[in-house]
Each structure stands twice: as C-alpha cells, then as structure tokens.
Structure 1
Amino acid sequence: MLVRLVYLIATRIFAWLFLMSRSSAAKNAEILILRHELAVLRRQVTAPKPGWPERALLAVVTRLNPQALRERRIVSPRTLLAWHRRLVKQKWTQPPSTGRPPLPEEIRNLIIRLSTENPRWGFRRVHGELRRTGHKASPATARPVLRAAGPGPAPRRQPARGKWAVFLKAQASGLLATDLFDVDTISLQRLYALFIMEVRTRTIHIPGVTAHPTTAWATQQARQFLWQHGDRAAEFTHLIRDRDAKFTAAFDAVFTSEDITVAKIPPRSPNCNPHAERFIRSAREECTDRVLLFDRGHAEKIPHDYAHHFNSHRPHQGRDQLAPSDNPNVIPLPTARIKRRQAVAGLIKEYHRAG
C-alpha cells in the first residue's frame, strides 16, 4: 500500500510538470471534456470504492480546489468525514473475543482413541474416563469431538419419575437394591445371579450364581451378604426388591432382623427399581452378551470380574463420574501418558495414569 501511494504521488507530479508546458486553451478544453465524461459516468456507474492510497491523494488534492468546485468532485467533504469516522471506528473497536480456548490436541486424540477402542461408549462414558485420568473436561467437550470423528453420542435413558424417584433419593444413604439376572452357557444352560447394590455408592455385590434359584438358596445368600458386612450392616435402612416368588417372607426376615425395612415395588414396575435394572442393562451390554460362558464356574467368574471392574473403575453419572470405591476428596492430576489395561477377560479396557 505504501509503495502504491508513493507511485501515485510520483505519477501525479510528473503529470503536473507536463501540464505546465501546455497552453491554457488546451488545458481548458481537456477540463471541459473530463467534466463531461465525469457527468456521464455519474449517471451510469455506481459509487466508486477507492483504496486508502487513492483516498489520501484525493483528500490532499481536493484542498487545492476552490470551495465552489469541491462539491462537484466524487470526493466531497461528506465523503472525507465518512472516511475519518471509519478510521476512528477501526481504532477504538475492541477486537472480537476469542471465546472458549481450543481443546488441546492431546485431549482430542485421547477422546477419539477411547471412542475408537470402545465403540459402545457414548460421550458421557468417555467423559467419565477423562475424569479418571485427571483431565478436566465437561461432557459438552467430548460430544462435538465424537460427533466430528464418527457416530453421535448414545441416547440417555429416561430416569425414573414420580414418588418412587423422590423416595429413592431421600433414602439413598442407607438403601439397598436387589434382583436376579440370568445368563446362558454355551450348552444352553440358564444360570441365575443374585446381586445386591449399595445405592449410595453404587457398589455391587454378587453373593452367588446357581442354576436353581430356590427360596432357601436366596435366603442363604442374604445371610451370607449380611455376615460379610458385619457391623457395616447397621448402616443399611431399606431394601428394595421386586415381587419375585424367590423373595419370600424368610428372605425378608433376614433383613428385618437387622432393622432393614424391605420395600416391595408395585407389580410389573421395573422402573421403580431403577438402579438394579440399570446394572442389569450395563452387565448385559458390556459383559455377558459379549462372551460365551462355558460352564457354571466360568459363569461365576465373569460376573464377579465385572463387579470388580464396576466397583473399582467404572465411572457413574450419579457419583459425578466417580467409581464406587473412589474417594471424592482426591482429585487426580492430568498426565501425558495413559496406560491401558484389559479387564473382564479382555472385554473391557481400563485406562490409568502411567507411572
């Protein structure tokens, strides 16, 4: 731009020197022709948009004309004032805000890696793993990265509603939830696993697996569960269960002997025991539906391994993306190196801070 301005000034100086050698009659004739051409162009051409070198030169030269002739130029005083206002506006206009800082490439690559190695994970599950490795990121950070890299996030399941939801939240500190879920071996033998969840921490206990879940067996598993917890059993206040025929008065009596109130959900209302139903869904999708179980021993080992993963590593939205055994007062620090470990017979990948 500066070179262009110098070039324009030099050419105009040489043009003026050339004009000084011409006669007055020739100059007047040329002025009349130029004025006529300018009048024709004003009627046919839209307003010109000169660059700033042309503007500077026109502003200087216009001051040499008499006041009466300045109004007939394409550069009028109003134009000069408009140019000046534009310069003032550019000087004092605040630069646009940068907005949210860009996501570091390291975290972006880690999100894509977790999603690629675990196709079943949605953006909230990926966010939980990020929190466990010490990276501070919100679920809204992982969502656009996953959307740009592949399929969108998995849909969220609707939470339980109504009075039962209020009851569960109010009693969560001492609440237990229990149920049975079935698995099939490679020989098509159906086995049943009894589990009990501590709702406050989401800790899962699997007392036993059997092919014949009788009332006596369920009652014995309840006794075994309370005996293993010893004095901690006094912390539990309520147990939620469905109306399965295997949960009889004898089963309830084991818990009532420890001052634990048994609450039965309404018939055909699994949504009233949402924590247990959600665990069954997670266990099926992440574990039992993805492996062939050979026998009862294998069917006992896989659910127990998954329960260990569930309690020690898997993040939970209800616990601010903490695992049941995590200490909420400990904040993990981010690290550049992430170590992967296979869990539950290689079905699930766990990520830890290396070193």
Structure 2
Amino acid sequence: MAKIFHPLLALIASASDRELAKYVEYLKAENQILRARIPGQIHTTAGERQTLIKLGKGIGRAIEELITIVTPTTFFRWLREEKGSKSKTKNPKGGQRKPRELRELVIEIAKTTGFGYTRIIGELRKLGIKNISRQTVRNILKEEEIQPGPDRTSDSWTEFLNRHGETLWASDFFSVKSMTARGLRDLYVMVFLNLQTREAIVTESTYRPNSAWVCRQTKMFTEQTKDREKRPAILIHDRDTKYTKKFRETVEAAGMKTNPLPKASPNLNGRCERFIETIKLECLNKFIVFGKKHLDYLTDEFTSYYNTKRSHMERDHLPPIREEPGEVETISIDQIEVKKYVGGLIKSFERKAA
C-alpha cells in the first residue's frame, strides 16, 4: 500500500488527463529548445540506446513527434537491429528451449496474475507441469521484457482509485483569519473529501485545533457516513501533528484504515487541497469573517452548494451529489430560475419545479 503514494505519482494524484497532456506539450517544446542549442550529432552509448528503445517502443509511431536526440529513421533502425539480434540469440546455457505452448502459458500467467517467478511455478505445478525451473521462468519473462512480480503489481494512483472508488476519502486542515474583539485570530477547519465523487464534508471551526477537537470532528464524519451503502474504508492524510495516535484509534474504531502520506508530498493530497483552494477563492476570500459562527455558516452554505449544485469537470460537468438530468435539446427562459447561495454571492441556474 505504501508504494501507492510514491512521490513519482504526485502529478497523477493531482492532474487530469488534459493537464498531463499540457505537461507533455511543455516538455516537448523545452526539449526542442535545448536540442537546438547543441550543435552537431549526439552519439549515444549502448546503454543509452537500450533505455531509449525500452521507453520508446510503447509509444509507437508517436515517437516521430517526440524524439530529437536522433532521427526517427535511426530509432526504427535500432528497433530492427534489436529484433534481429534477439532472433539470433541462442540459449546461453546451450540447453533446449521449452515448447512454444509452455512459453506462452508462462507469459499468460505472468500478465494475467502479476505473479512473481515462484508463484508462477506454483500455478504450473497445479496444472501438472513439473519439468520447468524457476530460472527457466525467469529467462522466459526476461526475453519478453516482463518485469518481476513486485514491479508489475505496484499500483498507479489511477488503478488504486478505480479499485477503491467511493470508499476512499482524504482529510486536511485549513485556517481562516477571523475578526474578533481580541483582534485577528486564526480559525481552523477540517475537511473530508471523497476522491472519486468529490463530495466534501466540512467540520465546524475552532480556535484550538487540538487532538480532542480532531477526534470529535472525525466521529462526526463517521456518524454522517456510517449508514451509506459504500461506507468510507480508507482515510488518507498528511503527517500534520494534529493527526495524533488518538485520531488513528478513532478512525480504526469506526472500521476504517488510515494511510499517512509520505513527508514533503503535498501533491499526493491534491484533490483535497484543490477543494480548499476553491472554497477560499469562491467564498471565504470575499468576506470579512466575524467569529466562529459566521465562518461555520459560510462553510456550511458553500459546501452544500458545492456538493449539490456546483458543476465539476471530473464529474461530467455535474455536481458530486446529483441526479442525472433528463436530456433536452433546448429550454426556454421561463422554465429556469436563478437561485442564490451564500448570501447571494453565488448564483445557480436551475429548472423550475414542475
């Protein structure tokens, strides 16, 4: 589970496919600029060529638009030469190669299950195949460039999110300046966000965000979600000191697991951070907050609007909690009403009730 939150997955955790495409476009442009500054031909070593071949094969013809270190013609020649050298490679030990059917079975088991060498041997033994060693399995997978089990079974953020879906939640804190009789003071708020549906639950605020307050808000969250068909199962959070041992015990008592994120990896909780940015930009930054009750009213009003009325690109431009509207080609103005939220700050176009 810990590998899921490796820092290399930070961009995936916080970026949509469209944003990732923009990253690729930027890197292409930067690479072209750097390549133009280097005169003449660049000579690659054998190891460098193998790296480029390994990474480039999966891209296909799109490599023609990306590669700059050599011409696309040279790259495809490398591929042909590598393929030709493989076909001429003999068994290093001089032994007889296993039948094609057995090799195909080993490859199929590896791709289907993600098992390592030893467990593949176990699957073959169950099928009655005994005349094959672990080294032979290793050689077959190596020739097909299939990595050992641990590398193939490590999760990407997308795979993990798809598997856990609506039972995966994230938590974070944010603070707001409040005008009081004692001057400006910081009020703290706790946020819970479902990483698939984007539904947000925002707690009441406090001037003292101690462990007891965090545990009370966590119990509120578990009570609010306990009767759902898809109850929260995993709660991810950063390593803020407010997430104490008592907090973890509270989460576990509710039947959930906690999963602390690695240090110095804020992007891994990017969706929760994005909601905090949204509630601040669209609501809180437009008010002077006068005390706890005022802030609680604003966050409650905005969260209700966010969950049920505000469109979200990752939710097919519909709210996180919504019913699919009946599709129409056009609609007249007299069938629509404009509703106001958060004291009239936010407006929403909605169909009039029938």
Structure 1 window deviating more from structure 2 (228-237 vs 161-170): it is 161-170
2:275 to 279, 292, 295: 279
Q: 1:273 to 1:170 in 2, by over 3 A?
A: farther
2:349 aligned to which of 338, 348, 351 = 351
Alignment-derived partner of residue 201 in structure 2 = 205
In 2: Cα distance, 1:299 partner to 1:203 partner? 20
Q: Which residue of 2 aligns with 1:331?
A: 326
Find the residue that maps to 1:171 and give its secondary structure: helix
Aligned mate of 1:312, from 304, 308, 311: 308
Deviation of residue 275 (structure 1)?
A: 1.5
1:76 equivalent in structure 2: none
Aligned to 2:248: 252
Structure 1 residues 284 and 173, CA gap change in structure 2 (3 angstroms) = same
- Map residues 1-355 of structure 1 onto 2, 5 A cutoff: 163-186=156-179, 187-232=183-228, 235-328=231-324, 330-333=325-328, 334-337=330-333, 338-354=336-352
Cα 1:233/1:260, change in 2 over 3 Å: farther
What is the root-mean-square deviation of aligned Cα atoms in Å?
Answer: 2.3
Q: Matched residues in 2 for 1:269 and 1:202: separation? A: 20
Find the counterpart in structure 2 of residue 144 from structure 1: none
Letter of the 1:281 counterpart: E
| Matched AA of 1:343 | Y
SS at match of 1:235: coil
Mark the CA change 1:214 to 1:158 in structure 2 (over 3 Å): closer, same or farther.
farther
SS at match of 1:342: strand
How many angstroms apart in 2 are the aligned matches of 1:180 and 1:304? 15
Deviation at 1:353, TM superposition (A): 2.0
Distance 1:157 1:346 in 2: 32
How far residue 233 of structure 1 moved from its aligned partner, in angstroms, is 8.0
Q: What is the SS of the residue equivalent to 1:236?
A: coil
Shift of 1:157: 6.1
1:191 deviates by: 0.3
- 1:172 maps to a residue whose letter is G
Residues 223-258 of structure 1 deviation map (CA, whole Å, 9 limit, x = unaligned): 122123333286221111111101112111222223
Equivalent residue, structure 2, for 1:128: none
Q: Deviations over 1:80-139 (max 9, x none)?
A: xxxxxxxxxxxxxxxxxxxxxxxxxxxxxxxxxxxxxxxxxxxxxxxxxxxxxxxxxxxx
Larger Rg: 1
TM-aligned CA distance change 1:254 to 1:314, over 3 Å: same
Check whether the contact 1:164–1:272 (CA below 8 A) recurs between aligned residues.
no
Report the CA distance between 1:354 and its aligned residue: 3.8
Displaced runs of 4 or more, over 3 A: 156-159, 161-166
Consecutive unaligned residues in structure 1, runs of 5 or more: 1-155
Q: Contact conserved, 1:335 with 1:353, CA < 8 A, in 2?
A: no
SS at match of 1:179: strand
Q: Contact 2:193 / 2:200 at 8 angstroms: preserved in 1?
A: yes
Partner of 1:341, secondary structure, is: strand
1:271-297 deviations in Å (ceiling 9; x for gaps): 101210110111111011111111111
The 1:247–1:308 alpha-carbon spacing in structure 2 relative to 1, beyond 3 Å, is same
Kept after mapping to 2: 8 A contact 1:178/1:196? yes
Could you list the runs of 5+ residues in structure 2 that have no partner in the other structure? 1-17, 24-154
2:281 and 2:327 map into 1 onto residues whose CA distance is 28
- Size of the aligned set, in residue pairs, is 198
CA distance in 1, matches of 2:213, 2:287: 26
The Cα of 1:265 is off from its aligned counterpart by: 1.1
Give the aligned residue type for 2:164: Q
SS at match of 1:231: coil
Which secondary structure state, in structure 2, belongs to the residue aligned with residue 209 of structure 1?
coil
1:189 to 1:165, Cα distance in 2 relative to 1, 3 A? farther
Letter in 1 for 2:304: H
